[in-house]
Amino acid sequence: MKLFTKHFPYVQHNCKSYANMVVWGIGANVGHCIKTFEQLFSCLYKHPKIQIHSTAYIYKNPPFGYIKQPDFYNTSIIFSTSLCVRSLFSLMFYLERKFGRERVRLMKNGERSLDIDLIFYAKKKVNLAHMYLPHRDYANRQSVLQPLTFQLGLFK
């Protein structure tokens, strides 16, 4: 199911662009998920080192892994930034906490008020114990591929 809101989908043509192009995958299945996405958009839009280029529709998807939980809402955001990758991770974790996410997980793929995955950061490739770029599972997740395919189609 596709959902439309004020900023999902969103496209900003002919905007300034910072050095690093970024793709975030966004998901939530606890609380007011759509409201959380809109508030997240506002936080990013107001950030002095971020320029949002586009967002996708919001998709409602069944959970994977642990399936005895509410469906997830998922979307993606493409933006450019002058933040380095470490600063971007700090911002991601801050925003997840701001919207009620605890960093300690009770179970993998469990319920969450906000999940932000860094899918791509510039053309950077990283393979560390705690970080993979590009995100190592993005190509296997419909929750990432559906919104991203829509977004990439906007720029053809």
Q: Which amino acid is at 27?
A: G
- Bridge partners of residue 83, in order along the sequence: none
The 10s digit of each residue's pLDDT in 2-41 is: 989 999 999 998 888 999 999 999 999 999 999 999 999 9
pTM: 0.88
The 10s digit of each residue's pLDDT in 83-136 is: 999 899 899 999 999 998 876 666 666 688 999 989 899 988 877 777 777 677
Listed by start position, the domains of the chain span 2-154
CA distance 20 to 79: 8
CA distance 74 to 110: 14
2-154, CATH topology level? Alpha-Beta Plaits (3.30.70)
pLDDT band per the 50, 70, 90 thresholds, residue 138: low
The 10s digit of each residue's pLDDT in 65-89 is: 778 899 999 999 999 999 999 899 8
Residue with tokens 């989908």: 9
Alpha helices (runs of H) in 1-156, residue ranges in sequence order: 33-46, 85-98, 142-154
